[in-house]
Structure 1
Amino acid sequence: MAMFRSLVASAQQRQPAGGPAGGDSGLEAQYSCPICLEVYHRPVAIGSCGHTFCGECLQPCLQVPSPLCPLCRLPFDPKKVDKATHVEKQLSSYKAPCRGCSKKVTLAKMRVHISSCMKVQEQMANCPKFVPVVPTSQPIPSAIPNRSTFTCPYCGARNLDQQELVKHCVDNHRSDPNRVVSARCQLPGCLSPTVHPQCPLGTPGRGLASHACSASPQCPLFQVCPICSAMPWGDPSYKSANFLQHLLHRHKFSYDTFVDYSIDEEAAFQAALALSLSEN
């Protein structure tokens, strides 16, 4: 692990202390955010690895319990992410040609210029539309669900991958077997006045976690697993009575390792059956 860290550290792409390398032609690319691929906007630098990103682009990474650098994947302390003042100075000092009209503009103003440059707008309008490589009867994919990150159903923490969601729930919500949806049970006919001690309304009580509704299978305190509901075979209406146990038993591994999302359940079954027969 130490050798890996040293190799990554030696390959870090830090901004040069002196003048720009590669001349005007590569200047815009040199000062572009690795996430949005645009010229830096309010750049920030990660203290441990030195990689620079737009402040807004890095923000989602700061919301997870164990953030990793989007570029080198090394862990970092979110408290040690600082404003990249040296990069901001260079953005104000260096000029590069616009990719559309070739007018030289300071990098700090490049985004504003590109948004109003007619040449760039024409280039974007003439971009070829997506077409399949070979003819297909399948529709062009749209509205594909996010199967990479999930939201905690207890507290709303966002951008957790599968392993992070399991760890987050075990560490922070082990004593909360049910999801807290509001100050009161929302099931029609349920008159329970119980509220959660951490209710955002600040109302004290013995907790919805201990509330047992007479119609519990339909009680909204039972929650849908965000991982299962994002899968092609998932049922977004199925609610788990013990979400924590469900996580620990059903999501010990990542589906990305074993599942091909491009095929349906029957095709996946046939592929698994064929593989099993070939191994025997």
Structure 2
Amino acid sequence: MAMHGAFSAAQYKKPVSDRSSDVSEFVCPVCLEIFESPVTTQCGHTFCQSCLQECLRPQKPVCAVCRAALGHWTKAVDLEALIQSSVAACKGCGAQVCLSQMRSHTAACSKYQDYIEEGVRTTAQNQPAIISPVPNRYTFTCPYCNCLNLDQDGLVEHCTSQHARDARQVVCPICAAMPWGDPNYRSTDFFQHLKLRHGFAYDTFVDFFTDENTMIQEALQRSLVDN
């Protein structure tokens, strides 16, 4: 239930002129934009009104910051007034913009878009490489030409269309990724193998922690039920 009241201005003691370099206190934790029609929950966290509405969708709504139950909130009147009267520099072009207009400005500012893209690239470059102990069983590499990131159906289609006349014996990358797979086994007829063994998606039927014979029996039983 909404409770209409004034948001405490005690949290905003800095003069407006001092805020042009730091607008973090005016940023919604959900959309990461300047607050739009801000409201404050009973647990003390502030959101855009539209963002709060998203938090209220579940049957038992909770605060997006602290996970406290949501039941009451107030309009952050004083905060909204500060947003209407404060200015800050666009991080793209450097222009001084009223905070209430910052969303529309950054949406149209090409230099701000460049600033965001550069930030994304820098963050991606600084991320440490994560080596997963779980093998990738969803995308595969073509055993003939090393084409990457083919899903099971894509691998079958790629090999059939691009390498149908290639007589080399190759290791099936799908089988090799499975717990029972032999990474050194080379199929004498790879295309027949693909047709017979990989006509269905493994992740639909397979329990990766069971042995191959058990998996095959379960897959057959399920196929009979489905038919």
**TM-score, with length taken from structure 1:** 0.40
Of structures 1 and 2, the one scoring higher in RCO (CA 8 A, sep 6+) is: 2
**Per residue, is there more helix in 1 or in 2?**
2
**TM-score, with length taken from structure 2:** 0.48
Larger Rg: 2
